[in-house]
Amino acid sequence: MRSDKNMQYTLDDFDYPLPPELIAQQPLPERAASRLLLVRGGAFDERRFSDLADLLEPGDLLIVNDSRVLHARLRGVKPSGGLVEVLIERPLGAHEALAQVRASKPPRPGSRLRLADAFEVEVLGRQGEFYRLGFPPHDDLLELIERHGELPLPPYIRRPADAADEARYQTVFARQRGSVAAPTAGLHVDAPLLARLRERGVDLAHVTLHVGAGTFQPVRVSDLARHRMHGERYRIAQATVDALAATRARGGRVIALGTTTLRALEGAALAHGGVLTAGEGETELFILPGFAFRVADRLITNFHLPKSTLLMLVSAFAGFDSVRAAYAHAIARRYRFFSYGDAMLLTRSDT
């Protein structure tokens, strides 16, 4: 067994062989019909996501991410007539955004791109791997994106988004516009399951973390200490802080629905000396085994890409060996992987 606190991990430690046919290309007909693998140490129990209300206790608190996915993919042309594809990373205000830009040749600062044959943006410059784009000053940026853009399905889904994805690639509690990828663990929850959770006496609270396109960026260095995480914006409401305090006072457990929820909670707590505090901020938190979690006791999450920062996060939460065994079990049992795939319920390894 490895010691997560003492082990020096490299990128290859988080690799695993995944048969490509296990990458889910479509959602199941019903959200809560997906499989749910319970993982605690080396023990596994196979359930359905619809069983979640029976697996939590009265007085527990389920915290969800209420971010909503933007129509963040825009297609267009350069002045030369060359095709261009823009994927918004994040708005920087009412008329400016960071974006990934794909084109045969990189666009130069000062050049203009015509998007969706509807409006033009100006290339203002580079910021790391992203471009800063200036949008028309007389239109609201988010409204333009929503009106003319496409829903940005992840790159491992080998098909264009269709009408069904407009509903199924959003959670039922999505409210705050700003993500370019769904907080996918929440995709399993439907209205009947929410009702059963309430009847069970499980409380519900929200955070907002806007998922950026950087969530799909690969880790390019073997020495993980050299990796720099992409930043993501979050907001923690006072009502969520109060709900967490009440849960602790009555001896309940805190369950994070998804790695984005966990990252918002732990990033916000770390920014305030380990105490969850209401407010807004940006987190670049990169979680590896050995990280001291402060907020969540359990984590519900989908299965993540090999060598991804999200796989590193769940390995930190539930233990490297435990997660590695769980992934091997899921592959052998033909679980569905990634955004439209199945899920796990993990218990924190130090609890």
- Tens digit of pLDDT for each residue in 189-238? 999 999 999 999 999 999 999 998 767 777 889 889 888 888 899 999 99
In this structure, the dihedral spanned by the alpha carbons of residues 141, 146, 150 and 154, taken in order and rounded to 10 degrees, is 80
Averaged confidence pLDDT in the chain:
94
| Strand, helix or coil for residue 187 | helix
Q: Which of 152, 253, 267, 149 is nearest to 201 (CA)?
A: 253
- Tens digit of pLDDT for each residue in 129-143? 899 999 999 999 999
Two domains, one topology: 11-69+164-347 and 73-148 = no
CATH number for region 11-69+164-347: 3.40.1780.10
In total, the chain counts a number of residues equal to: 351
CATH number for region 73-148: 2.40.10
| CA distances for 190 relative to 59, 159, 205, 224, angstroms | 21, 25, 16, 37
- The pTM score is 0.94
Domain boundaries, the chain: 11-69+164-347, 73-148
